[in-house]
Amino acid sequence: MIEISASDQYLTASADSLLLDIYDALPAGLYPPFPPLELPGGLGGLVSRGGFAQTFFFGAEVLGLTFIAPSGRRVVAGGRTVKNVQGYDLTRPFVGSFGALGVTETVTLRLRPGLASAHHSRPGRLEDAEESRARFLWQDGETLHAYHFGHVREVEAVMQAFGGTPDLARPDHRTAFVGGMGVGEGGPLRDRRFGWQAGGTVPDMPDLFARVAASL
């Protein structure tokens, strides 16, 4: 299930939606908070891991979600519009909690407008691109990727500063993560937050966060 409201600039999709299926469903001029590629777990996996490759605060782009808490309780968090972000926030702790708070059912994402988009790649490492203003930056092996959308001239300027050449591939990285997409160095992908490796290892959970998880 992928429902898009172009006028209110959001989409609601089931957690098992593929990232590239969401791209294919978008109307012209609206973009989601992830780059055009496929990762393990589809949309639900992406949200559980706290996003991929973004250089902005991913949690702000998740307007709401429904999930099944460890108790079996179904939790409806947040809403469908930016105006619903009014406090008592159970959406943001869920985002990036690596499944500790439960299993995602549906996700509502903010869509942002852009008149143009571009994806460039070049040899390099993330450490070479700290000044880049691209909305998404990631490293695949020894190749650095930048994806950006926005005003035409802004996209041109970001890509010119990044260098490289246009990259039309929409890679499917699912098979590179046997046993899940976990955190750790030496894996196939890196972004500014983590190295991403096969095997599903997740960051250590603070005790207090475990208490929150048990309360839901």
Residue 11 vs residues 14, 105, 163, 181: alpha-carbon distances, Å: 10, 14, 32, 24
Q: Is 150 helix (H, G, I), strand (E, B) or coil?
A: strand
Strand 165-166, strand 195-198: pairing: unpaired
| Ramachandran quadrant class, 24 (left: phi over 0; alpha: psi -120 to 50; beta: rest) | alpha
Answer yes or no whether residue 175 interacts with its own copies by CB under 8 A. no
Among 35, 42, 50, 78, binds its own copies (CB under 8 A): 50
Among 7, 83, 160, 185, binds its own copies (CB under 8 A): 83
Answer yes or no whether residue 146 interacts with its own copies by CB under 8 A. no
Contact in structure between 209 and 202 (CB atoms under 8 Å): no
Q: How far is the CB of 28 from its own copies (least distance, A)?
A: 22
Q: Using alpha carbons only, what angle is made at residue 134 by residues 155 and 193, rounded to the nearest 5 degrees?
A: 165
Among 103, 169, 178, 205, binds its own copies (CB under 8 A): 205
Residues facing 147 on adjacent strands: 119, 136
Q: For residues 114 and 154, give the distance between their C-alpha atoms in angstroms, rounded to a whole number.
A: 10
Applying CB under 8 A, what is the total number of residues that bind its own copies?
36
Q: How far is the CB of 133 from its own copies (least distance, A)?
A: 13
Residue with Cβ nearer its own copies (93 or 188): 93
Answer yes or no whether residue 203 interacts with its own copies by CB under 8 A. yes
Answer yes or no whether residue 126 interacts with its own copies by CB under 8 A. no
Looking from the CA of 12 toward its CB, the CA atoms found within 13 Å total 15
Q: How far is the CB of 202 from its own copies (least distance, A)?
A: 8
Answer yes or no whether residue 103 interacts with its own copies by CB under 8 A. no
Among 29, 70, 79, 96, binds its own copies (CB under 8 A): 96
Among 103, 161, 178, 214, binds its own copies (CB under 8 A): 214
